[in-house]
Amino acid sequence: MKRKLVSLAVAAALTLAPGALVAQQKGGLKLSDGVVKIGILTDMSGLYADLSGAGSITAAKMAIEDFRAQEKGNVFPIELVYGDHQNKGDVASNKAREWFERDKVDMIGDLVTTSTALAVMPIAKQANRITIVSGAASTLITGKNCTDTNVHYVYDTYALANGTGKAVVKQGGDSWFFLTADYAFGHSLEKDTSDVVKANGGKVLGAVRHPFPGTDFSSFLLKAQSSGAKVIGLANAGTDTTNSIKQAAEFGIMPKQSLAGLLMFLTDIHSLGLKTAQNMYLTEGFYWDFNAETRAWSKRYYDQHKRMPTMVQAGVYSSTMHYLKAVKAAGTDEAKAVMAKMKQTPVNDFFAKNARIRDDGRLVHDFYLLQVKKPEESKYPWDYYHVRQVIPAADAVGPAANSECPLMKK
């Protein structure tokens, strides 16, 4: 039996008294049903739960609370709902329809897993509602499958490939074999990284695709080992990645061959431990310990969630705040008007600086090439990375001229 999708309306803490609502209506704010309702559709119990899940809900709550505090309480009513899509496109699409039609949800955020994002985006467009993707990676989201009511906020496979793939080739890892999750995200990450490897003088010796999600990677790892490639590229994520790495260690694949985690998160390193993950390169769109501003917000987040944030969770906070500011600026929760304000207004916060949303929905911001520290290099809890390079937005995000999004060709 499918587990029930749960939802939570944060009414008591996150809505205003009736008098405040009347004042906002008199000021010209037009809300479709008297409230702005935000939905976080995420993985609550599967292989992506640690990097998104409950932590994304915490981030959204924080954004709503901070928005109210910044506006000194003089804001429109806001409600938050959340659901578990179980990493299944059909579950996600059914929940989205229910939220849009019955519950009048105005914006759905997170959408970890490419299959769920691609399932929900066209439903949101048809309903004239907004989606903000923080947890999925495929470039299809701002490519052939783009919509004018969607934002791809945090990262994509192009940025990951151009960060980690390029760095590993430059370090001498010029022959690759891919271990790939067999769905849209994995295929996209394998293709984008293969292109980068070849463009930088490397070669791809082959690839094998594993079921999503997977548990036993032994046969796939043995094929990768027998290929003789210097680098085994892990085009998967979450527990698929951590289990691949653990099993590779059991087979003694390292150090004869190197592993490249093409999508890894802070929570993955925490799970693996520095002894296992040390020296690996990875690319992220956010790191909690990058500067004073990221540390200040992340410590507030830690106080509530008891774990440091991943880039997905930080992105959920930033995107939720950006959305709420756009609703206020637009004077309405109507999707097209709000989206216009979101694209007109740069993102300037702890997550991104001077970042703008392109016509295809991609938020263009800097990325970070990171290397996992050795155990003796870590000075305090969650001190896991060396920042080896800040990758400028113009290099990290795919060129607008190459976009396959119809919105970019008008």
Low-confidence ranges of the chain (pLDDT < 70): 1-28, 409-410
Residue 122 preceded by cis peptide, ω within 30: no
Query: Which one of 264, 284, 304 terminates a domain?
Result: 284
Question: Backbone phi, then psi, for 281, in 5-degree steps?
Answer: -95, 145
pTM, 2 dp:
0.91
Query: Which one of 231, 250, 284 terminates a domain?
Result: 284
Counted domains in the chain? 2
> Residue 21's pLDDT is what?
39
Q: How far apart are CA 239 and CA 271, in angstroms?
A: 9
CB 232 within 8 A of CB 204: no
| CATH number of the domain encompassing residue 336 | 3.40.50.2300
Q: Are residues 240 and 142 in the same domain?
A: no
> Residue 149's pLDDT is what?
98
How many residues make up the chain in this entry? 410
| Position 394 in a domain | no
Q: Are residues 221 and 178 in the same domain?
A: yes
Q: Are residues 296 and 357 in the same domain?
A: yes
Q: Are residues 150 and 294 in the same domain?
A: yes
> Residue 28's pLDDT is what?
55
| Position 225 in a domain | yes
Q: Cβ of 160: how many Cβ atoms within 10 Å?
A: 28
Pairing of strands 356-357, 363-364: antiparallel
Domain of residue 272: give its range: 162-284
> Residue 410's pLDDT is what?
52
Q: Are residues 151 and 23 in the same domain?
A: yes
